[in-house]
């Protein structure tokens, strides 16, 4: 242990020397790693933002429950209570015939005049039900069992599409993480192997002098770690700039879309990039060392 | 310290480097291995260092069986050796002192002692004033002495010097031999290979191993005063 502490200065100096031996190639490696992490960070940020937005949309997912027209108010209140007791349902609100009409007027806007062609209000009263989107199937099953329920407008196609988008984004995010992880491991282990090749005479001498594998390999491990952490820092810097610019643009163009907090997103992503760069740097360096044996 | 019984070494291309080597070297002995170039001197050192393994026979160095399966123990064994390589194997871009220190860093010496011992070793070979010179700036003879200093500083039980006098003029060659023979004591054995037999003609003490075409003959001169 004492010897390891004594040698820390040596290990750092050696790592610096190894880095300088192939300076230009190492600088390009840092830039490549930085760009790889930046792309990963963009995909994950996009994934995070989409998940956040979809989460909010999911929370606001609604279905409309139409009931028998002969039902009186006390029966409707009972029906609402029954609906609210179903698992996965947040809130159920009665929408009268007049309110349904007014909502349509609002939706149609300047074309609302078309509604004047009807002699009487063509809309039926209904119960507006907020649901947890992931439980839509079981909720519909339960609602269909209620005798008073005549018809359900479930917007299932829209909900299914939303779920598909979430699924695709998750797959893309996962693939991006795997692809970037593998690319980083390959790049780092290749750099380490190159460093070992460039220093093969020194390594050979140390082996002949009986130096332990740890003593020989640790400077290369440090070099790999340094390269990925530098790459991570570059990626973090680019990401901070991109998020700032992106938010300022989206704030103007898409004011109605609820975005997650910029500071929380930035902090989380920087922590993620730096942690990933450290872990991938360590694993890639170990791969490089093991494959050079 | 070293015991070889019926050792053969045949390289992958079929070259028989050593044939039926039987040799015993005790602690504190000085051994001169002579023979023409390509006779098998370096191969013998390679076997002792565990760079090559016997293809046949039995070889034990400082209690360690020299077989491929024991590779990790052999690395540990090398820490008890002070090799002086024919081509020095000094690390470029480092000073003479850094080269000596580097050979000691993983041997478990107290950290405070390492630098002092390295300086003492360089002074012992007459290179105290070149401690901070880059090794690529040193002459052939000076590089040879840095390699010897690196070996001495490790305080090894066995010093192995492969052609340490090669390419040196007579005066420097004798000086190197004198340094190396002076390293022998009751716990340190020294093995020196050389093809320049004229340099050791007058040596009165030691074990003389003549290698020719892979076959060795052992002769002993004088009584070693340990």
Q: Does residue A34 sit in the same domain as residue A114?
A: no
| Residue A3 with chain B: CB contacts under 8 Å | 105-106, 108, 111
CA distance B197 to B180: 16
CB B90 within 8 A of CB B135: yes
Q: Does residue A18 sit in the same domain as residue A139?
A: no
Q: Does residue A141 sit in the same domain as residue A190?
A: no
CA distance A230 to B97: 33
B111 touches chain A (CB under 8 A): yes
Q: Does residue A199 sit in the same domain as residue A90?
A: no
The domain B1-80+157-226 having CATH identifier 3.40.50.300: the answer here is yes
Q: Does residue A71 sit in the same domain as residue A189?
A: no
Q: Where is the domain boundary, A154, A177, A195?
A: A154
Q: Where is the domain boundary, A136, A154, A172?
A: A154
What ipTM does the predicted assembly reach?
Answer: 0.88
Per-residue model confidence (pLDDT) at position B226: 39
pLDDT band per the 50, 70, 90 thresholds, residue B225: very low
CA distance B40 to B7: 12
Q: Does residue A136 sit in the same domain as residue A276?
A: no
Per-residue model confidence (pLDDT) at position A252: 65
Could you read off the pLDDT of B94-120 as tens digits, one per residue? 899 999 999 998 898 888 889 999 999
- Digitized pLDDT (tens) for each residue of chain A, 293 residues in all: 666 777 888 889 888 888 887 788 889 888 988 998 898 888 888 878 877 877 776 666 788 899 888 888 888 999 999 998 998 888 889 999 889 888 888 877 777 788 888 888 888 899 999 888 778 888 888 888 888 888 888 766 766 776 677 788 778 878 877 887 788 788 877 877 877 787 788 888 999 999 988 888 888 889 888 988 999 999 999 999 999 888 888 766 666 667 788 888 899 999 999 998 899 888 888 887 887 66
pLDDT at residue B224 greater than cutoff 50: no
Per-residue model confidence (pLDDT) at position B78: 93
Domain spans in chain B, listed from the N-terminal domain onward = 1-80+157-226, 87-155
Q: Does residue A50 sit in the same domain as residue A69?
A: no
A215 touches chain B (CB under 8 A): yes
Average pLDDT, chain A: 84
From A73-87, A277-291, B3-17, B129-143, the region with the lowest mean pLDDT:
A277-291
A102 touches chain B (CB under 8 A): no
Q: Where is the domain boundary, A92, A127, A154?
A: A154
| Residue B78 with chain A: CB contacts under 8 Å | 208-210
Q: What is the DSSP string of chain A?
A: -HHHHHHHHHHHHHHHHHHHHTHHHHHHHHHHHHHHHHHHHHHHHHHHHHHHHHHHHHHT-EEEEEE-TT--HHHHHHHHHHHHTSTTEEEEEEE-HHHHHHHHHHHHGGGGGGGGGSSS--PPPEEEEEE-GGGHHHHHHHHHH-TTEEEEE--HHHHHHHHHHHHHHHHHHHHHHHHHHHHHHHHHHHHHHHHHHHTHHHHHHHHHTT--HHHHHHHHHHHHHHHHHHHHHHHHHHHHHHHHHHHHHHHHH-TTS----HHHHHHHHHHHHHHHHHHHHHHHHHHHHHHT-
Q: Which domain holds residue A144?
A: 62-154
Do A3 and B76 make contact, defined as CB atoms within 8 angstroms? Answer: no
In total, the C-beta contacts within 8 angstroms joining chain A to chain B are 49
A12 touches chain B (CB under 8 A): no
- Structural domains of chain A, count: 2
Q: Does residue A144 sit in the same domain as residue A284?
A: no
The domain spanning residue A118 has which CATH number? 3.30.70.3040
CA proximity to B16, closest of B218, B217, B215, B162: B215
Q: Does residue A265 sit in the same domain as residue A181?
A: yes
Q: Does residue A165 sit in the same domain as residue A273?
A: yes
Could you read off the pLDDT of B23-82 as tens digits, one per residue? 898 888 889 998 888 888 889 999 999 999 999 999 999 988 888 777 778 888 999 999
């Amino acid at each position: 242990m004492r010897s390891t502490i004594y040698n820390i200065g040596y290990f750092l100096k050696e790592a610096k020397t190894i880095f300088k031996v192939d300076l230009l190639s190492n600088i390009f490696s840092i830039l490549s790693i930085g760009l790889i992490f930046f792309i990963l960070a963009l995909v994950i940020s996009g994934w995070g933002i989409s998940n956040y937005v979809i989460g909010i949309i999911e929370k606001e997912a609604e279905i409309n429950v139409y009931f028998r027209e002969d039902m009186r108010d006390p029966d409707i209140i009972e029906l609402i209570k029954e609906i609210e007791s179903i698992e996965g349902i947040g809130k159920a609100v009665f929408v009268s015939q007049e309110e349904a009409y007014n909502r349509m007027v609002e939706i149609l806007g300047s074309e609302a005049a078309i509604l004047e062609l009807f002699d009487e209000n063509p809309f039926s009263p209904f119960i507006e039900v907020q649901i947890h989107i992931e439980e839509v199937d079981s909720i519909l099953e339960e609602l269909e069992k209620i005798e008073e329920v005549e018809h359900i407008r479930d917007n299932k196609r829209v909900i299914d599409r939303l779920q598909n988008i979430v699924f695709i984004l998750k797959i893309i995010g996962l693939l991006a993480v795997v692809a970037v992880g593998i690319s980083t491991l390959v790049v780092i282990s290749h750099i380490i192997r190159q460093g070992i090749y460039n220093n093969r005479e020194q390594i050979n001498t140390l082996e002949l002098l009986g130096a332990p594998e740890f003593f020989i390999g640790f400077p290369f491990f440090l070099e790999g770690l340094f390269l990925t952490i530098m790459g991570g820092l570059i990626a973090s810097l680019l990401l901070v700039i991109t998020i700032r610019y992106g938010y300022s643009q989206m704030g103007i163009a898409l004011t109605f879309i609820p975005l997650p907090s910029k500071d929380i997103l930035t902090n989380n992503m920087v922590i993620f990039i730096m942690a990933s760069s450290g872990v991938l740097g360590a694993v890639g360096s170990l791969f490089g060392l093991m494959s050079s044996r | 310290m070293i015991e070889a019984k019926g050792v053969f070494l045949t390289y992958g291309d079929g070259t028989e480097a050593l044939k039926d080597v039987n040799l015993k070297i005790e602690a504190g002995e000085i051994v001169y291995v002579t023979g023409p170039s390509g006779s098998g001197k370096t191969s013998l050192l390679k076997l002792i260092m565990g760079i090559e393994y016997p293809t046949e026979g039995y070889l034990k160095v400082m209690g360690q069986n020299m077989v491929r399966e024991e590779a990790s123990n052999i690395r540990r064994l090398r820490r008890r050796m002070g090799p002086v390589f024919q081509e020095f194997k000094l690390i470029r871009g480092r000073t003479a002192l850094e080269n000596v220190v580097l050979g000691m860093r993983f041997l478990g010496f107290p950290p405070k002692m390492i630098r002092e011992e390295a300086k003492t070793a360089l002074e012992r070979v007459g290179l105290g004033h070149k401690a901070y010179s880059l090794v690529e700036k040193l002459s052939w003879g000076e590089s040879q002495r840095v390699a010897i200093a690196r070996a001495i500083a490790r305080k090894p039980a066995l010093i192995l010097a492969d052609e340490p006098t090669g390419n040196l003029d007579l005066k420097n060659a004798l000086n190197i031999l004198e340094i190396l023979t002076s390293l022998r004591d009751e716990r340190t054995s020294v093995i020196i290979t050389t093809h320049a037999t004229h340099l050791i003609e007058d040596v009165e003490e030691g074990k003389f191993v003549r290698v020719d075409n892979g076959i060795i003959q052992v002769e002993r001169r004088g009584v070693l005063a340990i």
